[in-house]
Structure 1
Amino acid sequence: MVVSIPWNYRRGVLSLKTYYPQWINYSWCPANYIKHQSTNWWQYPESNRYVIKEITNIVKFVKEGQLMDIEIEI
């Protein structure tokens, strides 16, 4: 089971696909924080900063070769 804030799912999936064997099954379990939902994160400055930082990190890690650059469904 993978527990994560929704905006971290993309990097989490890319990390699992990059470093874990394909035969390992996992399930996502969203952390349920009121200010950290996909439907309202932009309304809270702290959450907004986290999302922007997450996007920046994904691009950085893909460019550095730390994460695979693949299309994934979230």
Structure 2
Amino acid sequence: MYSTQGITDVASVTELRTSFQDVVDAAQEGDGVIVQRNNEPYAVLMTFDGVKSWQEKIKEQERRINELESQIENG
């Protein structure tokens, strides 16, 4: 089994095709939906706000890393 990184909803590609609105609703209600293909993670469906939030977190982590690298270089 693979790690879902906190995303609890999983749908197959077939479910996505047949029940798209239900999968979108599940993505909106939670942290997203992992879409599986051949029982392996293939994609993640998330809200636009969810994507923006992840991008902000990544930028913050990059900023912290740069600060730490600068502190290490400057002793």
Structures share a fold, TM > 0.5? no
Shorter-normalised TM range: 0.3 to 0.5
Using the size of structure 1 for normalisation, the TM-score is 0.34
Higher relative contact order (CA 8 A, sep 6+): 1
